[in-house]
Amino acid sequence: MFSKPSLMTRIVIGKTVGFIIGLTGFFMLPSLFGETSLMIRWGFVFWYTTMGAFIGVFGVLTWHPILKLPMPWWFRSLWIGAWLNFVLTLFIYDLMQGYMTSYFGENGLISSPFWFVFEGALVGLLMGYLTTRFGGEGKETVGR
């Protein structure tokens, strides 16, 4: 589809995938967890759009700059997705705890809000795969 690696293509694909996932969450949150504030719903849209942008930008780094270890696309995107959702969970832990308890019960198998970290890793993998598949990776994406 795209023959030349491009950082801008990576960012656009990442943000588009993130926007679609965030918009899906925007409409699914009320049906899954009941009354959900509009600010939280819009926050999810912007959060996943931003996650896609980060994953797109970090496609330039294929080696860790300090440790000199390879960082394949799946490692970078999994790490970024999990880390960003971990930070999100820390910011709104009480709210997410209420959501998970209302949906899965007090002692439900996955009633912990930290399951969002796993979800972020999966979303990150999807974004990373698509951005790398269609936008390339490495220094070639920057263009000179």
Mean per-residue pLDDT for 113-135? 92
pLDDT digits (tens, 9 = 90+) for 72-94: 899 999 999 999 999 999 998 88
Return the DSSP state at 30: H
Residues 24-67 have pLDDT tens digits of 999 998 888 778 889 989 999 999 999 999 999 988 877 777 77
- Would residue 51 count as lying in a domain? yes
> Is position 83 within any domain?
yes
Alpha helices in 34-136 (DSSP H): 38-57, 73-91, 93-104, 115-135
Report the mean per-residue pLDDT for the chain.
Answer: 87
Cα separation of 125 and 17, whole Å?
Answer: 11
Task: Look at residue 16 in the predicted model and tell me its pLDDT.
Answer: 96
pLDDT above 90 for 100? no
How many angstroms separate the CA atoms of 84 and 105, rounded? 26
Task: Assess if residue 1 is contained within a domain.
Answer: no
Domain that holds residue 47: 7-141
Give dist(CA 5, CA 30) in Å, integer: 39
With a cut of 80, say whether residue 139 has pLDDT above it: no
- Per the structure, the count of domains in the chain is 1
Non-local CB neighbours of 24 within 8 Å, separated by 6+ positions: none
